Amino acid sequence: MKKIVIATQNKGKAKDFETMLAPLGYKVLTLLDVAQDMDVEETGVTFEENAILKAEAVSKALGIPVISDDSGLEIDALNGEPGVYSARYAGAAKSDSANIDKVLEKLNSVPDSERTARFRCVLAISAPGQQTETFSGSCEGAILHERRGDNGFGYDPIFYVPAQEKAMAELEPHEKASISHRGNALRKLSESMPAWLNEEK
């Protein structure tokens, strides 16, 4: 089986990648498998900057090709917050539950028509001696008033996907992959760099 390293500590992201890459014959490895103590500081102010920082630092340290993912939720009524700070919105402890509570509280008096939002994802590919490449994807939706569903991670329970008439956390993993910001970015990557996901490594 081919192996691919995703430069992330996030188990929810890892599951999303497994859903998308297992059918292509890949075993997904993350930093939790290959470099548990590697935590790259995300000093960028855009998803793209942070994705590049993570991919290049990990590829350089391990001397192998890697893909990184920087992603987050942009809520229009909050001027794009939490954006690149999505993971740590309610504090450095990175609690999904506290992050959701903070969003629901901030949107408490915001009507349905103004609760539009989107997930964004930027994937960066970095390999020794090669120029780093990035691919972005998004997924439009709206913020619910309460949690729905048990699948996924992060803000999935409060992110309503109009096309499916369900919360992201109510979708099966393969359904999420077919419409998500991460799925859309990965499809662009595989179209633009087919050798990356189709060649034997």
Ligand X SMILES: O=c1[nH]c(=O)c2ncn([C@@H]3O[C@H](COP(=O)(O)OP(=O)(O)OP(=O)(O)O)[C@@H](O)[C@H]3O)c2[nH]1
Annotation: binding site for substrate:
8-13, 71, 153-156, 176, 181-182
Nearest Cα to 134, choosing from 142, 144, 124, 126?
124
- In this structure, are strands 2-6 and 26-30 parallel, antiparallel, or unpaired? parallel
Nearer to ligand X, 144 or 154 (CB): 154
Is position 69 annotated as part of the catalytic site?
no
- Helix residue ranges per DSSP H, the chain: 11-21, 31-34, 47-62, 96-106, 173-179, 181-192, 194-198
Burial class (CB in 10 A: 0-12, 13-18, 19+), 116: middle
Of 116, 54, 115, nearest to 84 by C-alpha is 54
- 73 belongs to the binding site for ligand X (CB under 6 A): yes
- Which residue ranges are tagged as binding site for Mg(2+)? 41, 70
Tell me which of ligand X, Mg ion, none is bound by residue 73, counting a contact when its beta carbon lies within the kind-specific cut-off of 5 to 8 angstroms: ligand X
Smallest distance from ligand X to CB 85, Å: 8
Q: Which of residues 121-160 bind ligand X (CB under 6 A)?
A: 152-156, 159
Question: In the range 73-102, which residues lie near Mg ion by CB under 5 A?
Answer: 87
Among 55, 72, 124, 167, binds ligand X (CB under 6 A): 72
Q: Which residue in the list 16, 37, 69, 70 is annotated as catalytic?
A: 70
What residue ranges bind Mg ion (CB under 5 A)?
Answer: 87
